[in-house]
Structure 1
């Protein structure tokens, strides 16, 4: 069986893939640490619809206006979700 890449090229490819994976993972961690989320981010991160967010608001989820943008505090979201479990 013939070798497609040299050992050095194979190692460089692996290192590049690992670097990309680490960058993606770090970005995800940064995103998850972000305290205030816009509605689209809430929908993506918690896999919910606009309707669910509206229901959460009825249950006590507060909107926070930062500048002209409405955001939701991650801690408030977690509290509402915890409240739904009980």
Structure 2
């Protein structure tokens, strides 16, 4: 059988791929723990629309403006969603 890489090179390649995957997973975990989310981040993470966010604001979701963007506290979003469940 014809081998493209030596066993040592194959092991190194696998090790590098696993290391990269771990770094990406940690980065995504940190991102998901970010406290303040912009409106587009809320829509992406909570899989909702702008209209949903407007309804949440009517239900009591607070927001703050920083520059041109609106930011929402993840804790506030979760509280409003819990309230709407009941």
- TM-score clears 0.5: yes
Of stretches 15-24 and 62-71 in structure 1, the one that deviates more from structure 2 is 62-71
Structure 2 counterpart of 1:43: 43
* Runs of 5+ unmatched residues, structure 1: none
TM-score (ref. length: structure 2): 0.88
> Per-residue CA shift, 1:14-53, capped at 9, x if unaligned?
1111111111111111111211100011011111111111
Superposed CA RMSD in Å reads 1.4
Structure 2 segments unaligned to the other structure (5+ residues)? none
Q: Which residue of 1 aligns with 2:31?
A: 31
CA-to-aligned-CA distance 1:58-80 (integer Å, 9 cap, x gap): 11111112344310000000001
Number of aligned positions between the proteins: 86
Provide the TM-score with structure 1 as the length reference.
0.88
